Amino acid sequence: MTYELLSRLGEFGQFCPVSLAESQELFDCSATDSLEFAAEFRGHYYKMSSQEKLNKFLENPELYVPPLAPHPLPSADMIPKRLTLSELKSRFPKCAELQGYCPVTYKDGNQRYEALVPGSINYALEYHNRIYICENKEKLQKFLRSPLKYWEQKLPHKLPPLREPILLTSLPLPGYLEQGIATSLIKAMNAAGCLKPKFPFLSIRRSALLYIALHLKAFNPKGSEYTRKKYKKKMEQFMESCELITYLGAKMTRKYKEPQFRAIDFDHKLKTFLSLRNIDPING
C-alpha cells in the first residue's frame, strides 16, 4: 500500500473490522499489500480478510465501524505479537507459559491430557507480557486471531514426558551454558582456582581464562581421543610455563651469582621465561 493509503486507514488499521465484530477475531491483513478486499467508507480505508467479509461490509458498513461496531480494536500492547528466534532469546530468563506446551492444541483438545503437545520455538508469540509457544504455524495464527480464547489456561497436575529434547543451541547463552557445559565448566574453574595459573607476561585474568579454555578442551567428553590428548599436552606445557615464575622467584637472588654457583637448570629456565614475551601461549 502507498503512504497515502496507509495514512487513511480507519480505526482498525490492518485488521479486518468484520472479523472483529462477528467473532472478536484479530485478523491481520498486513501480510498483503493487495486492496482486493478493501473498501472506502467516510474517507477511510478498511481491509477485509475475504470476499465474503468484504460483501458484508459493503452491505452495511455502519455496523462495522464506530459508533455501532460492537468491539473496538485493542490497544497496541494488548495485540499479540509473533516473536522471532532472536526476540525470543532476548526475553531470557522469562519462561514460556504452560511450560512450553501449545496453548491452542491444549484448548482445542478440550484440555485433555492427550492434547498436551510441546510447542516449537519457531512459532512463539508474546501476549499480555507473557510468552506462548505454539505447535505449528496454523496454531500460531489461531492464537494471534483469538488470544482471549487461548491465553489463560492452567496445566493439569500430571504432565506427559517431553517427546523430544529442546536443542541446546536454541537456548539463550546462559541457558546453553547451564544445560550444556555446567559440570565441565565448574571442574575447569575449580582447577584454575586451586592452581592459580599465571603465565609469564600475561595478566592473571587472561592466564586463568586460557587455562579454563584448555581444560574444557582437554576433558571434553564429546571430543575425540586425539583432540583430548592434544589439549592435555598443551595444558601441561602451559602449566610448566606458569611454574617458571615460582621457580625463578625462589632461586633468583638479589646479588649476582657466577654461573657455577647457580642451580643447574637456572639459566635454561630463565632463558625459557624471557623467550615467552610476546608469544601466543596456545599456538606459539
Neighbour order of strands in the sheet with 81-83: 81-83, 124-127, 130-133
pTM over 0.85: no
Contact 55/92 with Cβ under 8 angstroms?
A: no
Omega within 30 of 0 (cis) for the link into 93? yes
Choose from 36-50, 75-89, 124-138 the range with maximum mean pLDDT: 124-138
Omega within 30 of 0 (cis) for the link into 281? no
Three cell numbers at 57? 461490509
- pLDDT tens, 235-258? 999 999 999 998 888 888 888 888
End-to-end CA distance of the chain: give it in Å, rounded: 60
The mean per-residue pLDDT over the stretch 60-66 comes to 92
Q: Quote the crossing angle between the two packed helices 225-251 and 204-218, to the nearest 10°.
A: 150
- pLDDT tens, 214-231? 999 999 988 899 999 999
Domain ranges of the chain: 3-73, 78-149, 168-276
Q: Which pLDDT does position 103 carry in this prediction?
A: 96
Q: Which pLDDT does position 239 carry in this prediction?
A: 93
Three cell numbers at 277? 614475551
Distance CA 24, CA 150 (A): 13
Distance CA 28, CA 56 (A): 18
- pLDDT tens, 151-185? 999 998 888 765 555 555 566 666 666 666 778 88
Q: Which pLDDT does position 25 carry in this prediction?
A: 92
